[in-house]
């Protein structure tokens, strides 16, 4: 599952005025694997390759979590037992994401918001690990040194174009931290926070990378489109236009916000001498939740080929 394979690097044509004449590429990590796609593939690779298969894995997420979805599939493939602490109520109909997780043998344990907040508390984690057969804890979003190591492997895959900018979406900040650590200082890493009030991530990234905010990286805090899990007409229109022009589907939570932020940023900061890479971090299964909750029009679904998303 994690054998070496460079994801395609695709030039985005027809952008010139949108991107101030810069050359723009999209790194198609969404194509790495049908279920363990995008940054999940990068973040899980070294964690699972180094995992003792006799021990279970325990991780965290919400009802539509891309991370849990990918982890469930990967652990199933590798024959590793897996538990998930899920924020929410077990009495509510399971999302398609969680139904898939269950189908792939992930054991789901529902907790309320108050308990979920303890997910980084050491004593709580020790207690959970004990309760679940001495499971190894993988933080929410797969955050950790192994994740950053895997993400860092993107940089040598970009060597032939020597980008001056890499744009990536940000959730737990493992992906941006891995990129910052591995990139030369001549390459600016621009992260786009998917969550509202994400400034708390700045010291975390500084601590993980040893590089200060503003050095060769920036976290854009105002491109969340209303908050995590929120979609609006601008976002949907951008996803549709992008799909019609490039035949590439962005996801609703992360890469769509990155694209909107990129257009704004490019017009202010990029020049015709720049080469920018947008990292497609996958997450396409995230559309399922919006389809289930009937948040998308049939025109949108038809225009974006979304009926075929698994
Ligand atoms: C599709 C997608 N893109 C981006 C991110 C953000 O990555 P990170 O949590 O490493 O910041 C996530 C979360 O894992 C994701 O599922």
Out of 147, 171, 261, mutate this one to test ligand 1's pocket (max ligand atoms within 8 Å of CB): namely 171
Under CATH, what is the fold of the domain 39-142? Answer: Rossmann fold (3.40.50)
Query: What average pLDDT score do residues 134-145 get?
Result: 97
Same fold, 9-35+146-308 and 39-142: yes
Choose one of 194, 200, 201, 258 to mutate for the ligand 1 pocket test, by most ligand atoms within 8 angstroms of C-beta. Answer: 194
pLDDT greater than 80 at residue 91? no
Q: Tell me the per-residue pLDDT of 243-299, one tens digit each, with 9 for 90 and over.
A: 999 999 999 999 999 999 999 999 999 999 999 999 999 999 999 999 999 999 999
Q: Name 270's Cβ contacts closer than 8 Å, sequence gap at least 6.
A: 19, 20, 21, 22, 165, 276
pLDDT in tens, 59-83: 999 999 999 999 999 999 999 999 9
d(CA 79, CA 306): 31
Helix (H, G, I), strand (E, B) or coil at 279: strand
pLDDT attached to residue 308: 53
Fold observed for domain 9-35+146-308:
Rossmann fold (3.40.50)
Report DSSP state, residue 104: T
Number of helices (H) and strands (E), helices first, in the chain? 12, 10
- Whether residue 227 is predicted with pLDDT greater than 70 in this model: the reply is yes
pLDDT, tens digit, 9 for 90 and up, residues 194-225:
999 999 999 999 999 999 999 999 999 999 99
pTM of the model: 0.97
- Ligand 1 mean position, distance from CA 103 (Å): 23
Per-domain boundaries in the chain = 9-35+146-308, 39-142
């Amino acid at each position: 599952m994690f054998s070496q394979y460079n994801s395609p690097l695709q030039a985005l044509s027809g952008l010139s005025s949108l991107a101030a004449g810069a050359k723009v590429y999209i790194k198609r990590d969404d194509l790495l694997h049908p279920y363990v796609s995008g940054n999940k593939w990068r973040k899980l690779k070294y964690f699972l390759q180094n995992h003792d298969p006799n021990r279970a894995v325990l991780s965290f997420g919400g009802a539509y979590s891309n991370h849990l979805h990918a982890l469930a599939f990967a652990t199933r493939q590798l024959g590793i037992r897996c538990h998930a602490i899920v924020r929410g109520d077990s009495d509510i109909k399971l999302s398609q994401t969680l139904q898939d997780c269950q189908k792939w043998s992930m054991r789901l344990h529902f907790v309320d918001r108050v308990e979920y907040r303890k997910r980084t508390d050491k004593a709580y984690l020790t207690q959970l690990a004990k309760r679940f057969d001495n499971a190894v804890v993988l933080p929410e979003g797969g955050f950790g040194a192994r994740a950053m190591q895997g993400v860092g492997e993107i940089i040598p895959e970009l060597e032939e174009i020597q980008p001056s900018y890499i744009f990536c979406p940000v959730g737990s900040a493992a992906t941006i931290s891995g990129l910052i650590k591995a990139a030369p200082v001549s390459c600016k890493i621009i992260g786009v926070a998917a969550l509202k009030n994400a400034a708390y991530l700045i010291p975390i990234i500084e601590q993980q990378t040893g590089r200060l905010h503003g050095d060769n990286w920036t976290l854009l805090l105002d491109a969340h489109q209303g908050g995590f899990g929120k979609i609006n007409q601008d976002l949907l229109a951008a996803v549709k236009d992008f799909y019609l022009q490039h035949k590439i589907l962005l996801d609703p939570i992360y890469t769509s916000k990155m694209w909107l932020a990129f257009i704004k940023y490019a017009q202010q900061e990029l020049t015709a001498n720049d080469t920018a890479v947008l990292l497609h971090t996958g997450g396409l299964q995230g559309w399922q939740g919006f389809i289930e909750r009937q948040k998308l029009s049939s025109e949108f679904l038809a225009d974006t080929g979304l009926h075929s998303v698994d």
